[in-house]
Amino acid sequence: MSATPASRVAVPIELGDRSYDILIGTGLLDDPKSFDGLPAAACAAIVTNPTIAPLYAARLQTALGARYARVLVIELPDGEAHKDWTSLNTVFDALLAAGCDRKTILFALGGGVVGDIAGFAAACYMRGVPFVQVPTTLLAQVDSSVGGKTAINHPLGKNMIGAFYQPLRVVADLATLDTLPVREVSAGLAEIIKYGPIADSEFLDWLGTNLDALRARDKTALAHAVRRSCEIKAWVVGQDERESGLRAILNFGHTFAHAIESGLGYGEWLHGEAVGCGMVMAADLSARMGLIDPSLVDRLVRLIERAGLPIVGPKLGVPRYLELMRLDKKTESGEIRFVLLDGPGHEVMRAAPQALVAQVIDARTA
């Protein structure tokens, strides 16, 4: 058990009968109260991986033991390269072999890879069982555990096979971030920085002042950053759960990022690293289209660099970038569409002249 009592805030996400709370605090993982009110079930299953399991699975299992008679632990191989059919099937195999019925509740304990696979497994197993996100990376606490996007990758494109499926709750224990590798903290900062330019210029200012505290894992700074990120994401998802419009703003930088990830091979760059660099490229494209002043690009580049993230993309070549970006889910009738800035805290989604996209790729890759 954790030595200190749990402290928490709850950020609600309003989705009618699929509404839920994002609990944010320290000591939540060990506290059975974090799981109060979840449905009864004969079987609960923690989906995790061999890196996270030795750190946190037994503690979560004990907390859940107060509620569930049987708590299985299912381990998937670690890494983006394993966000695939084989891992998904591993979850189904384990649940079926253990005789888990349609009331089984899944707990995704880990980063975005575990969360995306476990959520998709929950959406499919016996046509849908409840699940809870217990994110343990900064990136997962501020983004992937919230909003119900679940998926696996396909060799031809990232997150191409999946479903919208909301968790019943998100339990984000900030204390789990103490064991996160430095590179993963930076990756999480990319998705936090994203919320500034797309939605909240005051938050962008706050990040400029508090970035070093966040990198040092100061709990007060982390609590504010995770909470504000979740509030913004909850506000967006509450209006456009299935991305018919507004939700696309959460993909700022992601069109370039997904090309980098699949172009280099999944796992070569971390998702957050690709997003950081993708934001540099998308901001540069916005400036070249005359939508923002170049000073905003410089400001973002400095912040992304200070977060410990790459600001220069890999040299895949213009034709390869274009080919990969055409596979993006925002592409319509073969036309690549980008989330672009048109001022601090404002964005638009539209196609861009190919010559300008090529200029950005030439200028921002090496």
Q: What residue ranges bind ligand GLY (CB under 6 A)?
A: 143, 147, 149, 247, 250-251
Task: Tell me the closest approach of the beta carbon of residue 80 to ligand GLY, in angstroms.
Answer: 15
> Whose Cβ is closer to ligand NAD: residue 162's or residue 291's?
162
What one-character DSSP code corresponds to residue 26? E
137 makes contact, choosing from ligand NAD, ligand GLY, none, with CB < 5 to 8 Å by partner type, with ligand NAD
Give the gyration radius of the chain's Cα atoms: 20
Residue 103 is a catalytic residue: no
289 binds, among ligand GLY, ligand NAD, none (CB under 5 to 8 A by kind): none
SS3 category, 33:
helix
Is 127 tagged catalytic? yes
CB of 353 vs ligand NAD, minimal distance in Å? 28
Site string for ligand NAD, 184-213 (x = CB under 6 A): x--x--------------------------
Contacting residues for 216 by C-beta, under 8 A, at least 6 apart: none
Give the Cβ contact number of residue 42 at 10 Å: 13
Partner interacting with residue 78 (select from ligand GLY, ligand NAD, none; CB below 5-8 Å by kind): ligand NAD
CB-wise, 170 or 287, nearer to ligand NAD? 170
Mention every residue, 6+ apart, whose C-beta is less than 8 A from residue 78: 49, 50, 51, 113
| Catalytic pick among 82, 194, 251, 330 | 251
Q: Could you give the residue ranges of the DSSP H alpha helices within 308-353?
A: 318-325
Q: In this complex, which beta carbon is closest to ligand GLY, that of residue 250 or of residue 352?
A: 250
Amino acid symbol at 132: V
DSSP string, 61-111: HHHHHTT-S-EEEEE---SGGG-SHHHHHHHHHHHHHTT--TT-EEEEEES
Q: Which of 8, 84, 104, 112 binds ligand NAD (CB under 6 A)?
A: 112
Contact indicator for 217, 177 with CB cutoff of 8 Å: yes
Residue from 84, 116, 173, 328 touching ligand NAD (CB under 6 A): that is: 116
Q: Are 74 and 90 in contact (CB under 8 A)?
A: yes
148 token code pair: 């119900």
> Which tokens hold the place of 116?
């995306």
Residue 83 engages ligand NAD in binding (rule: CB under 6 A): yes
Q: Which residue's CB comes closest to ligand NAD?
A: 112
Quick check: is 233 catalytic? yes
User: Could you say which of 159, 251, 255, 262 contacts ligand NAD (CB under 6 A)?
Assistant: 159
**What are the catalytic residues?**
127, 149, 191, 233, 243, 247, 251, 254, 258, 271
